[in-house]
Amino acid sequence: MANLIAFDLDGVLLDGKGSWMELHKFMGTEKFSEENGRQYYSGKIPFDEWVRRDIDLWKGFDANKISEAGKRVEVMKGIEVIKNLSKNYKMAIISGGIKQMANKIFEKCVFDHCYANEIIVKDEKIFDVDMKVNFENKGEILEEIAGYENVGLSDCIAIGDFINDIPMFKKAGFSIAFNPKHNSVVENADVVIRNKDLREILRYL
């Protein structure tokens, strides 16, 4: 039996387009962010530059807009299973999403670890970002958490939906593609769940 479960945030624990895009929608900067995304996916800018450009769109905005936007983000159907899972497993969130959005889940459910990208606030205004999770390092973070908990990687389960979750899938002993957004996610997962209901993961634990 696995001892550690690592969850992606956006599209797994939270429903919708993702914490970054939900905040962009709230701020009115969605179209600018989409262009930044196109620049990244076409190979014109690295991931950290994409994040930097997104944060620059929000600099000077009132920080309370982050929590206001967070209230509009829906948790995934079946989220109540997390509370029961935490009785038998170490639980982690590993996400390239916004940590303040992850905290909505972190506070509602019982998680032992939460790695995400935190928006830095200065004088109650959005100022910068502390980027801990990029497009490539989720596997390294899983390995770090497993080492801290003294859990072998073969005893870890990784649950994600997008291509940046693949490094985590490759490290974990078992991986679940939850409502996957890309064929390569399916190809790298042990099982696939296409129903947006977290209760579906229980059959594989």
In angstroms, rounded to a whole number, what is the distance separating the alpha carbons of residues 153 and 170? Answer: 10
pLDDT digits (tens, 9 = 90+) for 11-54: 999 998 888 988 999 999 999 989 998 999 899 998 889 989 99
Statement: residue 106 has pLDDT above 80: no
The active-site residue, picked from 10, 54, 161, 165, is: 10
Q: Strand 174-178 relative to strand 4-7: parallel, antiparallel, unpaired?
A: unpaired
Query: 43 — alpha (psi -120 to 50), left (phi > 0) or beta?
Result: left
- Where does the pLDDT of residue 5 fall: very low under 50, low under 70, confident under 90, or very high at 90 and above? very high
- Where does the pLDDT of residue 60 fall: very low under 50, low under 70, confident under 90, or very high at 90 and above? very high
Domains of the chain and CATH, by start: 4-15+75-204 (3.40.50.1000), 19-70 (1.10.150)
At 48 the pLDDT is 86
At 14 the pLDDT is 92
Q: Is the pTM of this model over 0.85?
A: yes
Q: What's the whole-number mean pLDDT along residues 179-191? A: 96
Active site (annotated) includes residue 10: yes
